[in-house]
Structure 1
Amino acid sequence: MFAFGKWAESDLSQAGRARLQQIAAELLRGAAGIRDVQVIGHADRIGDDFANQRLSQRRADTVRNVLIAQGLPAAAISAQGRGELESITDCGASLSRPALVACLAPDRRVEIVANPA
């Protein structure tokens, strides 16, 4: 959803924006059966821990704001950044920087968890 080092709503990919609209619609349809929604931001391993934590929190906050703008109640949505702690990639250390940035793209993500009532 986000390019390398990006976090703002204006940085969302078109596919990411469309997917968030779909998710918001699904959550609104099932709102009676949902207690709360957690938005969890992640970053790749490039950069220092502090910067990655801050970046992942900003990504989570951005997605939370988009969901609220789509009509979900703000009080029901929390946002948490987890930095680079939950990597899902296995990229070699010998990759060039452009190849490493591309390989680590799946780590730059936001997860949305709807908890049932």
Structure 2
Amino acid sequence: MHSSIKQILTTLTVLGVLGSLSACGNLSRGVAPDGHTADALVWPAPGDTTPMHKGGTFPNVSDVRQVKAGLNKQQLAALVGFPHFSEGVVGVREWNYLFNFRDANNKVSTCQFKVLFDQNKLAQSFYWLPESCAKYQQADAVAKSGPSSEQFVLSTDALFAFDRATVADITDDGKTQLDQLTRNLLTHKTRVENIHIMGYTDRLGSDSHNDSLSGRRAYAVMNYLVEQGVPSELIQAEGLGKADPVRSCDDADRAALIDCLAPNRRVVVLVNLLEAAGENSRATN
């Protein structure tokens, strides 16, 4: 009996060593204990993905933008999946991905994405190859307004009942606002290139609750617009929690603080427009 147990343990040890050795070529060297740096980043060859990830995946961009420092491995996997390369088994502090992104012209860009973890197995730093692919993780890459963009800011206090976030929870005043927005979008639909909906909360409450609430409200607004006839393929929605506050408040009284922070509780709808030539071109297609 003892001999059999010893043999099993020996076999497991050998397999663990072999697994670690097989991953050595894919792993960066000298990852810092805090996960913020490494002595040398090592990128696996794109063709070395595991069979199930051959060719990479097409992640949801809104999910990629929710990848941030502090996520554990299960939370990261829930957003963008498990790593696409063989990383070894024991003490893994790095995950590598092969992502594909499709632009408005149907052109596909392939990017490698690397996550470094700290000693507590929490994601801390992120790297892209080529570096230009980092735009897919940056929320304001789409959110920046330009001369061909229009931005609508909707108060969630007016849109939704307290702490609610579904289409059924949209108030009458909220429906009035969204109906007006829908009319504007449909009137100028030949010029609409894409619509980016971003939900925000104030700083009160936990990060997880705020991230979830802001995302559900952004998707509720998206679903309402789609129900009114706005093409779903034009719309991208995401929740950004307490990010990018427009007002800071120091009120000691909680009721006054909640009232002061109201402008931060909002849904921003960014409408990117085609140039006039694009309008004529689309209208005649």
- Shared fold (TM-score greater than 0.5)? yes
> Is it true that 1:49 corresponds to 2:221 in the alignment?
no
Identify which of 97, 104, 107 aligns with 2:261. 104
Q: How far apart, CA to CA, are the structure 2 residues paired with 1:58 and 1:98?
A: 25
Q: Which has the larger share of strand?
A: 2
Amino acid at match of 2:163: G
Amino acid at match of 2:196: Q
Identical columns (%):
36
Q: Which has the larger share of helix?
A: 1
> Is it true that 1:79 corresponds to 2:237 in the alignment?
yes
Amino acid at match of 1:28: L
Q: How far apart, CA to CA, are the structure 2 residues paired with 1:87 and 1:2?
A: 19
Change (3 A) 1:66 1:88: same
SS of residue in 2 equivalent to 1:71: coil
Counterpart residue number, 2:272: 115
Shift of 1:93: 4.4
Per-residue displacement from partner, 1:44-65 (whole Å, max 9, x unpaired)?
1111111111111001000000
Q: How far apart, CA to CA, are the structure 2 residues paired with 1:99 and 1:11?
A: 25
Shift of 1:80: 1.1
1:57–1:82 Cα contact (<8 Å) kept: yes
Q: How far apart, CA to CA, are the structure 2 residues paired with 1:87 and 1:38?
A: 18
Amino acid at match of 1:15: D
Q: How far apart, CA to CA, are the structure 1 residues paired with 2:169 and 2:264?
A: 16
Moved more, 22-31 or 9-18: 9-18
Q: How far apart, CA to CA, are the structure 2 residues paired with 1:32 and 1:58?
A: 28
TM-score (norm: length of structure 2): 0.39
Q: How far apart, CA to CA, are the structure 2 residues paired with 1:93 and 1:22?
A: 35
Amino acid at match of 2:188: G
TM-score (norm: length of structure 1): 0.90
RMSD, matched Cα:
1.4
1:2–1:108 Cα contact (<8 Å) kept: no
Shift of 1:28: 0.5
Q: How far apart, CA to CA, are the structure 1 residues paired with 2:165 and 2:218?
A: 9
Shift of 1:82: 0.7
User: How many corresponding residue pairs?
Assistant: 116
Q: How far apart, CA to CA, are the structure 2 residues paired with 1:4 and 1:50?
A: 17
Q: Which has the larger radius of gyration?
A: 2
Amino acid at match of 2:197: V
- List structure 1 runs of 4+ shifted beyond 6 angstroms: none
Per-residue displacement from partner, 1:11-46 (whole Å, max 9, x unpaired)?
323222101000011101111011111111001111
